[in-house]
Amino acid sequence: MSNSTLLAPFAGSDWRLVGWWTPLLMVGIWFLVRLVTPPHSPHNTSEVRALPGPSRPWFGWLLGNMAQLADHRETLIHPDWFQWGWTGMYESLFAQKRIYTFDPAAVVYIFAHPDEFERPRDLRTILGHIMGSDSLVVNEGEKHRRMRRALNPAFSAGAIKDMLPAIYEKAGELVGLFERLIDDDGLEGYAAHPPAPEDRVRGARKIDVFKFAGNLTTDVIGVAGFEHDFNSLSPEDDSPELLANRFNRLVDAANGMVLLTEAQNILPVLDKIPTQSRRVIGEVRGQMERLSDVGTDAGAKDLLSLLVKGNTATKGDQHLSNDEVRAQMASLLFAGSTTTAATISFILFELAKLPEWQEKLRAEVLASDECPPFEVINALPLLDAVIRETLRLHPPASCTCRAATKDMVLPLSKSIPLKDGRVIDALPVRKGSYFFISMVCLNRLKEIWGDDAEDFNPARHADPALPRMQVPGVWGNVSSFISGPHACIGYRLAILEIKVVLYTLLRSFEFDLLPSKPDIQHFSSLATQPQVKGELGGQMPLLVRKLRGTE
């Protein structure tokens, strides 16, 4: 991806309502920022000012170091910055200072103390546009705790277990769809990008597994969450209005708002700009919220019914309003489908790159029954290890941000040599200090996982000596679902979906890299996506053929 990609929100259609004077607007904003110190830009401690980090380029007064990151969307940390250690400082738009860290002790502390480190305004703004201001993932403090208490019963282990039959049914539909795509040459055009001549292999088909994993996860959330089947797994219905397709448009629109949202964090008045991205996001969110208005059955076990029943039984001010209930289900529909689909896609990609691991995992799943019960599928060791390893390398939440709500001292597991010669073992910060946290970098630390930390190796998870340090996470010793009070509430459902889909697909198909060898990239932004370099939109094209003996 070129540096121009980072500037796309300023140059593309998203700014068509702003006009040619956009650069002048940005310069004007900068002068305003220089005249008044905004509340989110604290007078940093001497230790923060002396943190190691990149120098400001000549255009740093406008873009800071953001252009340097444009070609490193996998880690969102420039590779050159690793030489300075696990914690440093860079500049965002208009020379706003950002502390970046992937120090395990610092991240554990930040996630465990949400009242001291809350989501900053720019992150809450863009999440609020997508999921609504009443969503769990937008709110902080007591309101967040109240919502979490109301939601917990609907996401308990028992509630997730009851969803297993619906997930198996949808996984079976995905198998049937893949078989049709392989057998019917007339469906070749169903791919977003036509196959190159060398990708036309007899008995196999180029299939965008990310697209269809997204269709499946959207259907699963519909059935398990609302008792509503979106019927997305059909070549006959692939219109742009299909909810799964609109999710892709929503992610692209949200990614296009990242720089604009950074600017809004400096001057909130910019939040009034009527961009194309805002329009798309509003349309899709409205569709998601309308789906939450369906009636519920007193005996039903879908997530919405469980939430409504639990909410009805809640007393006093702990009760959720109807708008809050709708917002939670809209959030689940979006977040629970896109992130899970990306993880499934990256697993299949890693198994296609390393067929020896694919064969080992296939042997494990073929040794069990066709649709094993909850306890059996959760006890398969290699299936578990493959998922953990993929989540370690490709976390669906690859990064997040926090802002300090008071002056405090942040613990560190690794000392920081400062630019002024001092060495510190803890970092004093002021209220308003902005933290960029990279879970990708944390998950790949050699000090935690060994010298092969950048490699896909599921066997590492059988080593009792690993990880060597505490990893902030709720599952599998990886930080992919974050940790603490703001950890992903739906991680159990996501893990079960991933296990069932992998189990089912590997019993029927083989997955290989395409002969044309497209450059698959891990694109980290609001939602992590696999992408092909030079092609727009999220996708994971693989060569899929029926498993020998099942034709």
- Among residues 288, 257, 220, which one has the least CA distance to residue 493? 220
Helices (H), 314-380: 322-353, 355-366, 374-377
- Among residues 390, 232, 277, which one has the least CA distance to residue 15? 277
- Crossing angle (nearest 10°) for helices 322-353 and 276-291: 110
Cβ burial 458-469 (10 Å sphere, 16+ → b, else e) = bebbeeeeebeb
| Residue 336 tokens, joined | 């629970």
Q: CB-based contacts of 100: which residues, under 8 Å, 6+ apart? A: 53, 77, 81, 87, 88, 89, 90, 435, 436, 437, 438
CA distance 511 to 507: 11
- Among residues 393, 343, 336, 433, which one has the least CA distance to residue 97? 433
CA distance 237 to 171: 18
Query: Are residues 95 and 60 in contact, defined by beta-carbon separation less than 8 angstroms?
Result: yes
Query: Are residues 433 and 99 in contact, defined by beta-carbon separation less than 8 angstroms?
Result: yes
Q: How many residues does the chain have?
A: 551
**HEC profile of 426-478:** EEEECCCCEEEEEHHHHHCCHHHHCCCCCCCCHHHHHCCCCCCCCCCCCECCE
Query: Are residues 410 and 106 in contact, defined by beta-carbon separation less than 8 angstroms?
Result: yes
Query: Are residues 68 and 77 in contact, defined by beta-carbon separation less than 8 angstroms?
Result: no
Rounded to the nearest 5 degrees, what angle is found at the Cα of 187, between the Cα atoms of 184 and 191?
135
Please give the single-letter amino acid code of residue 450: G
Is 488 labelled as part of a ligand binding site?
yes
CA distance 75 to 69: 9
On the question of a cis peptide bond just before residue 467, with omega within 30 degrees of 0, the verdict is: yes
Query: Are residues 26 and 18 in contact, defined by beta-carbon separation less than 8 angstroms?
Result: no
CA distance 245 to 257: 19
- Identify the burial level of 75 via C-beta atoms within 10 angstroms of its C-beta, where 0-12 means exposed, 13-18 middle and 19 or more buried: buried
Question: What number of other Cβ atoms are within 10 A of residue 7's Cβ?
Answer: 15
Ordered strands of the 541-546 beta sheet? 204-208, 541-546, 509-512
**HEC profile of 199-213:** HCCCCEEEEEHHHHH
Query: Strands 541-546, 509-512: parallel, antiparallel or unpaired by DSSP?
Result: antiparallel
Query: Annotated binding site, which residues?
Result: 488
Query: Annotated binding site for heme, which residues?
Result: 488
